[in-house]
Chain A
Amino acid sequence: MRQSPWRMRWIPAIAFALIAVVQADVLPDDRSDVLYHHFEGGGVTVQGPSVLIRKKAGDSLSFSYQYYLDMLSSASIDVVSQASPYKEHRTQQNFGVDYLHNNTLYSAGYISSIEPDYNSKTAFLNISQSLFGDLTTINFGFTQGSDAISKVDKGKHVAIGQSAAGLPLFHADADRKNYAVGLSQVLTRNMLLGLNFEVDSSAGYLHSPYRSVRYIDATTLRGYSYQLERYPGTRTSNAASAQLKYYLPLHSALDGSYRFFGDTWGIRASTYQLGYTQTLGSRWTFDASLRYYTQTHANFYSDLFAYPNAQNFLARDRELAQFHSKTLELGASYEFHPSWPHFIQKGSLNLDVERMFIDYEDFRDVLDTQFKAGQEPLYNLDATVGQFFISFWY
């Protein structure tokens, strides 16, 4: 049995990144970035390259393309407790176009994410309008996606519509729709406010064909047994955030944000972030930030059910558990002006490192077998995330 925690279930974040830098009065700058990313923690290593290219065509159009690869090597607690470590790749490509007309920016794009057992296609449309002497920018976005889920077993890929000898046919779909509205407001010559609100809805097969929940079973030596998880066929959620950026003397900036999330699965989550940016001379920029995250569990989540089929819906995915996490981020960036090639105006070298600490409040470490079922210590994980990237403006 394989686990696939690296599934790209939610694309809008990436979609927003393509348009997030946008002002509605000028097209985004022409630039390219090449990035290497590395995640290590909880028995999982994910690394790979990413490339982003953006170029204007004429005065009103800007095109962008992003390639992203995840090379995953997983021996996470979920994998090790029920299966064996495995390796996998996920490839994502984003295509985007922006069209500027007077003070309105229209953006559209397509995102594709492919991994052995999960294919995702998403299309998005966004309109940004600047008002009041460009002090206010509002934007409306719509995203629609569809996912095709299959199952990989013992290295044989059971694709949609096919069946490998002796293995059952498995094919499932999920659809997503997302509506977003945002406002950015210049408050003073030194202060910016950003507000965002999003509603999204998914329907279809929303869980994992590999993952299981556990229930008390006195007939086994370890005291529990597994059964496959069962999720509702729909999920609707709201997210609202506010972000403030403040320019400080000595060429530095402070930023703070809060996001609230709630969904029909009973999850309530809050994200708090505080960041500081300091420049040194004309070439160096340093960033530091702290993120604190807390979430309540889904109402059909339990680390250990009392008996099989205890509820209509059953989940033991630690993503839906009750937990809090703290992340510290440090980054440094060096700007340079290469004399060759001539079409490159400036470049930057960037390094960014995060330390993430997740403490679960109702997910237990089943690998600690010296404890009785339900009394194992709560699981926690530390992770280190690193990014190194080079950017060019032309």
Chain B
Amino acid sequence: MSRRFRCGLAAGALATAMLLGGCQVQPWVKPYEREHLADPIMSFDRDPISSSYLEHVFEVREGSHGASGSVGGGCGCN
């Protein structure tokens, strides 16, 4: 990893740590308003067995790869 990249990653990690450290922010979408977000059709990856296969089909034929997964969204429960 280059030094510049490490600095960038450290900056990003520091910003995140500060935020994790207890910044009290009121969510603008309330937990009881997440009905649509909890719907499976709003999932970034509804069927992992299928999306992992398709990722593979493209990767084998193309010179690029990566940055395809997303986590989060959903019901926000617990």
Contacts and interface: CB of A to CB of B under 8 A. Distances in A.
Question: So, do A and B actually touch in the complex, CB under 8 Å?
Answer: yes
B3 interface: no
Interface stretch (A191-199, A336-344, A371-379): A191-199
A13 B71 contact: no
A33 B76 contact: no
Interface string A240-265: 11010101000111000001010101
Interface residues of A, number: 96
Interface residues of B, number: 59
A184 B47 contact: no
A200 interface: yes
Contacts of A19: 69, 71
A387 interface: yes
Contact of A26 (B36, B37, B64, B78): B78
Interface stretch (A131-139, A148-156, A162-170, A209-217): A131-139
B71 A240 contact: no
Contacts of A26: 74-75, 77-78
A23 to B, nearest CB: 4
B47 A196 contact: no
Contacts of A185: 72
A130 B76 CA distance: 9
A17 B44 contact: no
Prevailing SS type, chain B contact patch: loop
A129 interface: yes
Interface centre among B25, B34, B55, B62 (most CB of A within 10 A): B62
Nearest to A92: B56
Contacts of A271: 64
Interface string B29-41: 1110111110101
Interface of A: 5-10, 12-14, 16-26, 33, 35, 37, 39, 50, 52, 66, 68, 103, 128-140, 178-186, 188-190, 192, 194-200, 237, 239-241, 243, 245, 247, 251-253, 259, 261, 263, 265, 267, 269, 271, 277, 279, 285, 293, 295, 298, 319-320, 325, 350, 352, 354, 358, 385, 387, 389, 391
Closest 6 CB pairs of A and B: A184-B72, A137-B72, A133-B27, A194-B70, A17-B52, A16-B69
Interface of B: 1, 5, 9, 12-13, 16, 19-20, 25-31, 33-37, 39, 41-78
